[in-house]
Chains A and B, each alone.
Chain A
Amino acid sequence: MKSLKRRLLWVAVGAAMLAAAVAGGATAQAPVVKIGLLATLEGPFAAGGQDGMRGAELAVKERGGMVAGRKIEIIKASSDAKPDVAVNATRKLVEQDKVDIMVGPLSGSEGIAVKNYSKTQPNTTFINGSSGAQATTLVDPSPNFFRFNTEGAQWMVGLGDYAYKTKNYKKMALIAEDYAFPYSQVQGFMTEYCRLGGRVTHKAWVPLGGKDYSSVIAKLPTDVDALLVVLGGADAVNFLTQYEQAGGNKPMVGGSITVDQTVLNFKGKRRESLLGTPSAGPIADRYEGADWKKFVAAYKENFKDGFPSPSLFAYVYYINMKAALDGLDAVKGDLSGGQAKYREALKTLKLKTPTGEVTLDENRQAIGNTFVTEVAKAADGEFYNKVVKLVPGVNQRLGMSKADFDKVGLGSRDVPNCP
């Protein structure tokens, strides 16, 4: 009798478990797709990193958190612009949290380190965040690292031509910070400028972190037509203030982050003399394109605590995350077989971005548009970057053939040179 009761008990338990399994199975959906998101949230780049995350989240929000019938789960991580920290954070996301796709990192040298790590994880797809070093895709590229944003050198294509022909600056002096990103920006500018016959007679490479430009300014030659200033944010503001105080009056040509919104909005009478400064980059604040206006509106609506207008970082993270999701759509969420089909889809993806179409070259680097801009004053008195030229289809070799570009090499202190 006891054994019968016990047997009945076991059958009941078994039945219950079976029922639960069936019920669970019936309500089970397609598995969640996990995407890791890495940005620099510590240190001086923190504001940019935060905005980058906003951009990525916007891309997810636009699809309502679902792609190809699968729910999207974002797992965030942070680094502090150091490559070893970035790799540790990525490793945790990939090996511990088991993400399917990785989006990040933010800064150049981190990007190279993450690209090297991606070679050891052939079954995960890595998509760039905003890192813009040339070497990431030009030197030893990784088959599963994709970059849908253009990099520093590409951002300056078209500006050299504009400075030489339209603005008539035949001789220039350069002030830039002494590390990889400005090297690439200068290469992007000077390749064109030197070819047209322009000369950069003086190059002042300021050590990273230097805030005092007084001696650099004192050494600037007086016989140049304009200054090429490739400094970012706070350094640009400092330089402009100190330059004005030292009595400088040469016009300037700015790098991609030299006359962005943070610089244009600081107080001080130097602002007036910024009017007309040409610059170039992947975005322009008040570009009239319909897609761009939609993007800005969506950003402003979703992020009341964000910047007045999406920054470079927000935009670049947005298009990279959008690419990740568009690719998933293309393969209907099929990440099986070591994600081989997914990667094929990414390679051939024609990405629709707010600033135009982006395709990838053979190193999985983006070919996209660059805007040449000039600082102008709007009707409401606000300063902004007006688009004067759109340069389509800029590739990483800056229009040169592979052989020619390899002969020149990547940007550095002395490359290119036309004194």
Chain B
Amino acid sequence: MLGVPVVAFTVWGLADNAKLFLSTAMNGLTLAALYFLVASGFTLVFGLMRNVNLAHGSLYLLGAYVGYVVGEWTGSWLLAVAAGFGSAALFGLVLQVAVFRFMHGEDLRQTLVTIGLSIMMADALLWMFGGEIYQFDPPRAIFGRTTLPIVEIYPTYRLVLLAMSAAIGVLLWWFLNRTRVGMMIRAGVDDRGMLAAAGVNVQFVFAVTFAIGAGLAGFAGVVGGTALSIAPGEDTRYQLASLVVVIVGGMGSVVGAAIGAILIGVAEQFGLAYAPTYSVVFTFVIMALVLAFRPQGILGRRT
């Protein structure tokens, strides 16, 4: 049912201006890669701990700024990336252990705490770093341009981003499906009570999950900030993007996050290219359609 208009549009687009169509498709995929990085952490945390972390965007920004500082200080972009991941993961770990651990089961209260935190963090970061824009300085090798068929020239960094996302996706899949901790996480997503009853240190699993989820946000902060610069307001933007991606893809499912990200990223870019005025509204239209016909998301499960 949905397939027909999509195929029709594809045929028309390719016939009309193949270069534009394909480059937009590539742009969509690479943007989706960034969205996936941010949303995967978000969905992981919700899936296991039922914690809608509305400070996820702030963690993105925190990782970006810390990564920037480290990058400036050491001159190494890779270290900046690592610092972005590490700082956000550490912050997330502290949050889980010091605050959320005591609010077990109180979903709304946890969310309210994350809202308060996001407001405070946004203002604190604005205070510390001001309203200026910050750009990263990645190695020349990944920041130039490559030649591709049909599209001709394409920014190398976006391809690197795509590759990184795919790698992280595979890594996450391997972690969740082939390690003990991953197995515990999956079990916890299915049934928290049983996990505890089986003698697993549930708090440990929670802490690890939150740290990973937050770390992913910080990692995305540096990686995304390299592509699109850091500025105040990015936190809200990526928070909303994660929200929409996860609603569409399904809560708690990493594969769902990938699918949702692709849908949303591609829709946004095609909207920008072919109907710029309402491009942002397209993504929300998709979300509304999913909510109307499949409220739990494409790969979500009915709780």
Interface set of A (CB-CB < 8 Å, partner B): 42-48, 178, 204-207, 209-212, 214-216, 218-219, 233-234, 237-238, 241-242, 245-247, 262, 266-268
Contacts and interface: CB of A to CB of B under 8 A. Distances in A.
A48 B232 CA distance: 13
Nearest to B268: A212
Interface string B8-27: 00000000000110011001
Contacts of A233: 132-133
Given A245-B144, A246-B145, A262 B132 contact: yes
A46 B133 contact: no
B228 interface: yes
B154 A246 contact: yes
Interface residues of B, number: 39
A18 to B, nearest CB: 52
> Most B CB atoms within 10 A — which of A206, A234, A242, A247?
A234
Nearest to A214: B27
Interface of B: 19-20, 23-24, 27, 31, 123, 126, 130-133, 135, 137, 143-145, 152-158, 228-229, 231-233, 237, 268-270, 272-273, 276-277, 279-280
A234 B231 contact: yes
Nearest to B133: A234
B264 to A, nearest CB: 13
Contacts of B31: 212
Contacts of B123: 42
Nearest to B34: A212
A247 B232 contact: no
12 contacts: A43-B131, A46-B130, A46-B232, A47-B132, A204-B276, A205-B276, A215-B273, A216-B273, A216-B276, A218-B23, A246-B155, A247-B152
A44 B123 CA distance: 10
A43 B233 contact: yes
Contacts, number: 99
Contact of B272 (A45, A48, A210, A238): A210
Nearest to B228: A211
A280 B276 CA distance: 27
A215 B229 contact: no
Contact of B137 (A178, A209, A246, A267): A267
A238 B229 contact: yes
Nearest to B122: A43
Nearest to A233: B133
Given A46-B130, A210-B279, A237-B135, 8 more contacts: A207-B277, A207-B280, A210-B280, A212-B228, A215-B27, A215-B273, A233-B132, A267-B137
A266 B133 contact: yes
B229 A237 contact: yes
A213 to B, nearest CB: 8
Contacts of A214: 23, 27, 155, 158, 269
Given A46-B130, A205-B276, A218 B19 contact: yes
A234 B229 contact: yes
B6 to A, nearest CB: 18
B53 to A, nearest CB: 22
A247 B153 contact: yes
A43 B237 contact: no
Contacts of A43: 126, 131, 232-233
Contacts of A246: 145, 153-155
A212 B237 contact: no
Nearest to B126: A46
Nearest to B135: A266
Contacts of A205: 276-277
Given A47-B130, A237-B133, A246-B155, A215 B269 contact: yes
A268 B171 CA distance: 33
A46 B123 CA distance: 11
Given A47-B132, A245-B155, A216 B272 contact: yes
B274 to A, nearest CB: 8
The 5 closest A-B pairs by CB, nearest first: A247-B153, A234-B133, A245-B155, A47-B131, A215-B273
